[in-house]
Amino acid sequence: MKTPRHKTLITEKRIRRRVADLAEQINSDYKGRELALIFISRGAFVFTADLARKIRLPVRIDCVSANSYRGLKSSGKVEIDANLKIDIKRKHVLLVDDILDSGITLNKVIRRLEKLGPADIRTCVLLDKTSKRKVPLKADYVGFEIPDVFVYGYGLDYDEYCRNLPYVACLKK
């Protein structure tokens, strides 16, 4: 597949700066504590890798799988696989996702992780699309607020392609 005609929404340089800022805030907020960094696969893997390298705390990393997209549209049904390899009971959990739009997926993953008895769960998202919110959910750490456009790159996919773009793009009209 050829990369679709697109425009850059968030440059690689802006992403790098914002990830460093988020990591500094996380380092400060969790100072002196161990952190369980749980990311929602596959979209958040690039963001999580960059963020984890900037966190200067003892960190254990794991992932959950959650998906509601088929092609370019959400099916509305969330499939979750939360078989963690690390124990999060009484641990401080930072749940990382690529994008918070309707809030349905992130909310369901939070509810699933709460059953495992963590000390607390905070959320960190690269992108926040507040105009699409269906569940009253606000991320604790937000990279960028974005308009209601379909985005891909920097881990987010365009029908499973384009995750390797170093920036966030949207379709060109």
In the numeric block, which tokens belong to residue 90?
């009484």
Residue whose token pair is 């992108």: 127
87 as an active site residue: the answer is no
Neighbours of 142 (CB within 10 A): 17
Report the alpha-carbon distance of residue 168 to residue 127 in Å, rounded: 10
What are 57's two structure tokens? 């705390």
Let me know: does 117 contact 90? Beta carbons within 8 Å. Answer: yes
- From the list 98, 101, 128, 157, the catalytic residue is 101
Residues identified as active-site = 101
